[in-house]
Structure 1
Amino acid sequence: MTKLMLNSPHPVATEPVTNPPPVIRWLEAGQECSARWRSERGAPPPKRVVLADDTTTADVAYRLACEGTALLWRGDFHNARQLLQALARRADQVPTRKRKKAAEEVPVVDAFHRHRLAQSQRARMLGMLLIPFNADYSIPLRRAPDVTMACTEAWGPPDATAGACVASLRELSGITSAHEWRRKGVEIAALGEPPHNRIHPHYGVFSPVRGEYIHLVATAHLPKPPTGQTTLTAFDIGTGTGVLSAVLARRGVNRIVATDQDPRALACARDNIARLNVEDKVQLVQTDLFPEGQASLVVCNPPWLPARPSSPIERAVYDEGGRMLAGFLKGLTAHLAPKGEGWLILSNLAEHLGLRTRAELLEAFEHNGLRVVSRIDAKPQHPKATDASDPLANARSREVTSLWRLATL
């Protein structure tokens, strides 16, 4: 694709500027070697790289990783996985009692930020164990599994001209796990009886494993179409896997416009909409927030925590400054048909973590010309909600997910 130089009296087409892919370099057998560096979380290639194999002990590997030295694995693949597990155990050796005491001694918002920092540091350290890949995504290690399909789903088709690449074993674990989620799918009770009720999340698209917010959308009272019309139009803002569009379609909504700005999410939603045979009811549009026009129902499930994501997959949970929430509330009135409703699905975890207050949320409604018709609540049932060892257990135990029915003032 080309772009036009619009500041010139005679626009001239120019080729887009593309940055070369990052490269990782290391010494091996006295020779300088290099390969393409892959990091989904956007981490730069490590500056210090040493070779490691089956003789490398976990203590040595942990010390090097903590110092910022990456270990490029040349041994048995299964041994590499065992080493990664050993590194994780060393990273998690802080006693639960000590973590709990530390969390109680500081304000909850500070405890949250400390927890996020610790998670980031842990991920950075575990990301120092690296795995080589051939150009076709095969792994040149003993007992290595076939991960070509999983890597193709995450990285796109192999390119023989790109040559070999290197990625962290931790990232590969995420890729293979996502492949299994995509293959098996997630059963969604609100979509009906199995086996025709599964959503298949793609790599990089948040999996709808928390069922309470889906149940809220599946049971809330639908608004009526505008006077004189028989068809109810709905917008699904930030559709992700397309699960909420599918639920609305199964509820009888005849026209749904689902939006997302992430090509991965749109491809995932398109796949799921086709699998569930509701293509005739759902239109997919790539845009930031709203499509053109108005709808009687506008649904949005924005990221629930106004904090900076540390990787692309976290954008479904963390939204720095609450940008998406603010954008949804600001544009909602202009996109609501007469007597229409906006459904905002939001957890109050941010309130319990000191990241946002209930008063601030209500003020945002009023500031944008919105009133609350009603609120429907559900208690989360995911494992972390009852995990006493979680550093944020106190806040999670009080979490409630709500569907706010909003209308114009």
Structure 2
Amino acid sequence: MLTDSGKSSALKGDRGMQEKYSMFKFVFASLACCLLAAAMITGCGGGNNPSGPDGSATPAAAVYDNFPSNATGSVTLNGLLVDLTTQNLITSTDAEIYVTIEYIGTSYKKTVAAVENRAFSFFELPEGQYMITVEDKGGVYDPSNPLIQELSAGKVNLTIPLSPKTGTATTSSLNFFATVLDGSLKNPIMFATVDVTIENVNNLTFQATTLQTGEFSLLGLASGTYTVKISKDGYVDVSKTLIISDKIMFGNQEIVAADIATFKDGGGTSRTGYYLGELLMSPKFTNTGGLAGILLDADKIPIPATTKLDLIYLKTPKDPVGPGTIIPNVKPNVLGYVSFKNLPAGEYVLANANDYVTPTINWTASATYDADGNISGWAFTPASKLVTRIWLGVTPGLVTPIPEQE
């Protein structure tokens, strides 16, 4: 039986919008052969339907040692690495840079060596949410701030900045952080994409990501002018100019010594920097929301990609109409990931799909009543056919994460 007490109100970000970096086309062209060779050596919706393959065809085996053998996908991830002090691609021959991607919610990850310490690629990735980190084993650069990206089919291009370690370069760099909130609900917005463009001859753009608290941080910025643009599906973009010179200006606000505070970056490291304040984003879609997450079985293993599911909708917990299937026969991808968009506000659960043609009825729902004869909730029979064990509340303009099931 599912009741109000089981409601999940956690909020999670949908995928960030990706910019195309035309200014680096010549770089990717010149490094294409190197990237392909390195990849061979290192192994490297509008719609309501969830993302992921339907399991109707068997893909070629993936090259990832710790990914399932069927975990090939349709995503190519290309990246460039830049030095924040020179504001150009890294040229150090003393660095030894590695890039690691981790599929969020699983133990699957992969590490590759950057080509000439400045570029990297991953091929045939399954769709889903990844954490991307960069480490320099040569000791020239500090580790990157972890970057969260939701990768969808196609090519994704990223630019990741690195700050030289103290003593390895002459620089007067500063750290900054800010909080991104929903303008109407004042809730933190998670996994919003922060594009930072350095206003110089190259107009170099790199990325950051908001955390569960809505915070993002920019580490090791040198003097100059930066355009900070925050984007998130379902919200109007926010853009401000950050000027670092003899004084610091963020938009029309002067940032002073009193704004210096301690914060934690995406890796949990405590740092000191200037607080840029709260940035409010206005919802673009006011009447629909979404669900996203990884579905695991009792052994904490992603459910098979061939599993057919019903997404069940209940307008309110005591709605006399009762729950019903809003999207039938959906399937996760090979890592158990599902994503739904454009859902009306209400309560949702996922269950093994009913087949009314065969028929195969995996679940039924019936009302429960209080002492006064009023509907107090709805019970599913059998409860074992539920993939999610709690009601998942969808709020307009936001995406609710599917929590790990107990």
Name the TM-score class by shorter chain: under 0.3
TM-score (norm 2): 0.22
Q: Which has the higher helix share?
A: 1
TM-score (norm 1): 0.22
Q: Which has the higher strand share?
A: 2
